[in-house]
Structure formats: C-alpha cells, structure tokens
Amino acid sequence: MHERTRDQENTSPDPSLSGSGLGSRRSFLGVLLGLGSFFIGALLSVPLIRFALFPLLRRTTELKSSPVGDLSTFSSLAEPVICTIRIEQVDGWRKAISEKAVYVTKDSQGHLSVLSSICPHLGCTVPWNNDKKEFICPCHGAIYAADGSRIGGPSLRGMDTLETSVRDGQLLVRFQYFRQLVSDKEVIG
C-alpha cells in the first residue's frame, strides 16, 4: 500500500537541501556581504571625514614676526616712516601671503615703536601728514600724534602699537588685527 515509486523517491526533498539549511546558507552569505560592504564603506569614508573635519581640527598658524628693516635705518628717525611687511598665514587649506603697511616711529621715551596703519575707529588706512606733523584719517577725521596717541576725532583710542623684537640687527614686528570702535586695545586676529 505504501509502496514508493521511483518518481516519488527522486522528487523527495534531500535533507541537505531542506529549507532550514538553504536559508541558513543564504543568511550567512547575506551577513558576510553586509559586513564586507560596511568595512569597505568605512575605509572609503575615512578620507572624506578627515577632509571635512580638517579645518575644525587645524588651528590657524601663529603669525610669525616679519622683518621691517635694519635697526641702523631707523636710528635717526625724526618723523614716522611707512614700511611694508609681508605676512604669511595658513587657515585650513588656504595659505595667504599679504602685505601690510606699518609705521616705524619713536615713542614718548625715544624707543622705536611700530604702529598699525589701520585706524582704530573704522579701519581706514591712516596716512602721515608731513605738513601738519600728524596722522589724519581720511575717512572720519581722527587725528593722532607722531607716536600714535589720540589727539582728536571720533576714535576712542590711539593708533595700535604692534609687538616688536630685534634679531641679528633686524627690527621684527608681529602684525595683529584689533577690534575697532572700542576704547581698549583688543586682539581679534
């Protein structure tokens, strides 16, 4: 009664190909493919993440001192002398080399002093007026003495002095930017 025919024997499922065995192989290959894709994606994303985060992690380079000239050039200074300095700054991927004008003058004690040519009122370039022996801002009429002290006008403070040093007979200056429209000298960059 229960005789199996030859066709039935051939069509009976093979225990090695049962649903649980085939499914487990497929799920294993799926997990293996997923893990492989994840690791390759992670490896490829590392340069993109570094590229995106580099400006945040990299600090702006400290401004180096720039040479203004030989000390002997400024020994017999009678009035302020304008000099151009080169500044190199690196921000993230950008390397900027700029030229800034500074004035070399003598302070009230007769020591060399370097002044920023940027008006502390609104940032205009302040020229030296030989006839009046004063710095006069062309934008709003602020007036400064030869040593950079404020004489009159809308500016709340005198011209900004810059840090100087001497190395191998060269006068060096560290250029900085200062906040405008305030009475105290505050470095912003």
Domain ranges of the chain: 6-57, 66-174
pLDDT in tens, 105-136: 987 787 899 999 999 998 999 999 999 999 99
User: pLDDT-based confidence at 162, cuts 50/70/90?
Assistant: very high
The DSSP bridge pattern shows strands 112-116 and 161-167 to be antiparallel
Angle at 100 between CA 59 and CA 130, to 5 degrees: 150
Residue 152 CA: distances (Å) to CA of 104, 113, 155, 156: 21, 21, 7, 9
Looking at residue 107, the DSSP 8-state letter turns out to be -
Write down the CATH number for the domain with range 66-174: 2.102.10.10
* pLDDT over 70 at 10, yes or no: no
pTM above 0.75, yes or no: no
